[in-house]
Structures are given as structure tokens and as C-alpha cells.
């Protein structure tokens, strides 16, 4: 679990790169590089206020994967106030 001050979603990752998606720490935030198709799905999920999971890592890496989960919560008091 990583806490971040901001998140940047970059929809310019090419499918030919060999990655499903890439995540990296940038200063005190998180940058997630995703394909154009994933960006469209993410936009739709945000509009509909639905949870969304982005699987990061190489396409042929097997079980070694990282996930970026976008979760909507009912009670904001239980979330990180930092």
C-alpha cells in the first residue's frame, strides 16, 4: 500500500511496449502509465463512480503483478487524512 499526495494517469503507453501498465513514484505522488484503451475504461469507471483496478507489469511476467486500485468509499472518516 502506497500513500500519495497526487496521482497522474498517463494514457500514452503503447501496447507494443510489452507492459500492461507501469506505476512509479514521482516526488510525493504516483504516476500510472496506461494504454489508451485502459484510459477510456478508467474514465467510464470514474464517471459511474465505480471501483477500478489497473494491473501493472510486463505482459509475460506470470504471477508477478502490481495493482493500482481506485476505490470509492462511503465514509470519508476512515480514509487517510494525511
* Number of compact structural domains in the chain: 1
Question: What is the pLDDT, as a whole number, of residue 2?
Answer: 63
The CATH number of the domain holding residue 12 is 3.30.1360.220
In a domain, 42, yes or no: yes
In a domain, 75, yes or no: no
pLDDT in tens, 8-54: 999 999 989 999 999 999 888 999 999 999 999 999 999 999 999 99
Give the structural domain span for 40: 6-70
Question: What is the pLDDT, as a whole number, of residue 42?
Answer: 97
Question: What is the pLDDT, as a whole number, of residue 79?
Answer: 58
In a domain, 30, yes or no: yes
- Confidence grade of residue 80 (pLDDT, cut at 50, 70, 90): low
Q: What is the pTM of this model?
A: 0.79
Q: Which residues of 2-28 are buried (b: 16+ CB within 10 A; e: fewer)?
A: eeeeeeebeeebeeeeebbbbbeeeee
Amino acid at each position: 500500500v502506497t500513500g500519495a499526495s497526487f496521482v497522474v494517469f498517463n494514457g500514452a503507453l503503447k501496447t507494443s511496449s510489452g507492459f500492461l501498465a507501469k506505476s512509479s513514484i514521482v516526488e510525493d505522488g504516483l504516476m500510472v502509465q496506461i494504454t489508451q484503451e485502459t484510459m477510456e475504461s478508467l474514465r467510464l469507471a470514474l464517471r459511474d463512480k465505480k471501483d477500478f483496478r489497473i494491473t501493472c507489469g510486463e505482459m509475460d511476467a506470470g504471477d508477478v503483478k502490481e495493482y493500482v486500485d481506485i476505490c470509492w468509499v462511503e465514509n470519508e472518516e476512515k480514509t487517510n487524512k494525511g
